[in-house]
Every structure is written in structure tokens, then in C-alpha cells.
Amino acid sequence: MALDDEHWMRHALILARNAWQQGEVPVGAVIVRDGKILAEGWNQPITLHDPSAHAEMLALRTAGQTVGNYRLPNTTLYVTLEPCLMCVGAMLHARVERVVFGAYDPKTGAAGSAFDLLQHPRHYHKVAAVQGGVLQEECAALLQAFFRERRAAAALAKPAP
């Protein structure tokens, strides 16, 4: 684990709260190069009517626009939840160098939990390093709190028997 991993993960957690405020599953992502923020994103598929609008995808798009190149070498992508298949695919296309995630996603995580595609030997390009579990408890707790609140709201919305 690098020295400032927790620092950037805390930043990603703040971005995840933006998603919650929009009623989206709270996941945040930040792309860092040379110790500076290159791009930020938070989950908003509902808001944007876009199944690909995961936090990582939005951050990758912004980063690409910022540097004027779809390839993003020498970057580290921080995300509060283990990335899915789609996001891992995009990270490989972008040549992201290092991926750091917070909570593990045993159901759909593609960085080692459900699938292990970030460092799959058949990829021509591989993400050089993957670090999971950074601020894992905080990242998982945010998601759990969101789903708890959503269940409570759903229960309230039901008409009394």
C-alpha cells in the first residue's frame, strides 16, 4: 500500500456521497497522476440514463478529455468499491497503471472477487498493481447505510395492511 492511498480513498468516499445525494448507489472514483487529481467521478446510471455511468467510467472519460488521449499511463485509479467487468475493461483500454479499491464485491467484483480480470494473463496490457481493501470498512459501511436507508424508505412507502 502506498503512503497516500488512504488519503485518495477518503477523497473517493466524499465523491461517493454525491452519488447518494442523487439517489444512486454510493460509489466514488478519483484518478491521480503525479500526486494530483486528474479526474473525478461518482456513480450515476439512473441520473444519466446510462448503464455505463459507473464512477470509474465517468472518471476515465473526464481524464481522457482532460489529457486529450484515451490512454492514461502513469495513473492510479481509486474507487470505493471493487470494479465490475465493464470498468475493468475500460481501465485496461486506458492503460491505467495501478488500481486501488476499498470494499470487496463478492458478487460482481472483477478485480479478484467474482472474476480476476485486472491481471488476467491473456491481456496484452495488464494493470501493473492492484490493491484492494483500502479503507474497506468505511467504504462498505457507506454502501450498507445506503441500502439500509433505501429498505426503510421502501417499507414506509408500503400501504399499511
Taking CB under 5 A as the rule, does residue 91 contact Zn ion? no
Residue 139 in marked binding region? no
68 burial level (CB within 10 Å; 0-12, 13-18, 19+)? exposed
Taking CB under 5 A as the rule, does residue 87 contact Zn ion? yes
Kindly state the number of chain residues that form the binding site for Zn ion, as judged by CB under 5 A: 4
Q: Kindly state the cell numbers that stand for 58.
A: 465517468
Taking CB under 5 A as the rule, does residue 90 contact Zn ion? no
Q: Quick one: 43 or 76, whose CB is closer to Zn ion?
A: 43
**CB 138: neighbour CB atoms within 10 A?**
16
Please give the residues from 55 up to 84 whose contact with Zn ion meets the rule CB under 5 A: 84
- Per CB under 5 A, the list member of 44, 54, 81, 98 interacting with Zn ion is 54
Choosing from 24, 40, 56, 82, which is the catalytic residue? Answer: 56
Q: Which residues have CB under 8 Å from 151's CB, separation 6+? A: none
Residue 54 in marked binding region? yes
56 is catalytic: yes
Handedness of CA 69, 89, 86, 13 (dihedral sign): negative
Asked if 26 and 80 count as a contact pair (C-beta separation under 8 A), the reply is yes
Q: So which residues are the catalytic ones?
A: 56
Binding site for Zn ion (CB under 5 A): 54, 84, 86-87
Binding-site annotation, residues: 54, 84, 87
